[in-house]
A = this chain, B = another copy of it.
């Protein structure tokens, strides 16, 4: 299955954070904050302004992004969890 986000929305795959502390202890799942980093796996064509023109997207597929913990809507595709959010919910892109 293939999702094409509408307007200014993007489909984001959360990036799994490291699961051990510096001392090597594994933190049980409920004690961890949900990660707020992800990678854009699909981006919409941009939102349509009131004059009918599309406003180009700033982010694109493959971009690594940081977003608010509660941003977007969770969707399940073939058993895997993704988030659909608006571009404006993205705080920043990440460059390694």
Q: How many residues of A contact B (CB 8 A)?
A: 37
A89 to chain B, nearest CB (A): 9
Please determine whether A3 and B75 come into contact, CB atoms closer than 8 angstroms: no
Instruction: Find the B residue at minimum CB distance from A52.
Output: B55
Total identical chains: 7
Q: How far is the CB of A39 from chain B (nearest CB, A)?
A: 14
Question: Across the interface, do A6 and B48 meet the contact criterion of CB distance under 8 Å?
Answer: no
A5–chain B nearest beta-carbon distance, Å? 5
Complex contact B51–A2 (CB within 8 A): no
With the chains together, A37 CA to B68 CA distance in Å? Answer: 22
Least CB separation from A69: chain B residue = B73
Give every chain B residue within 8 A of A55 (Cβ-Cβ): 48, 50, 52
4 closest residue pairs by CB, A with B: A2-B95, A3-B92, A84-B91, A5-B92
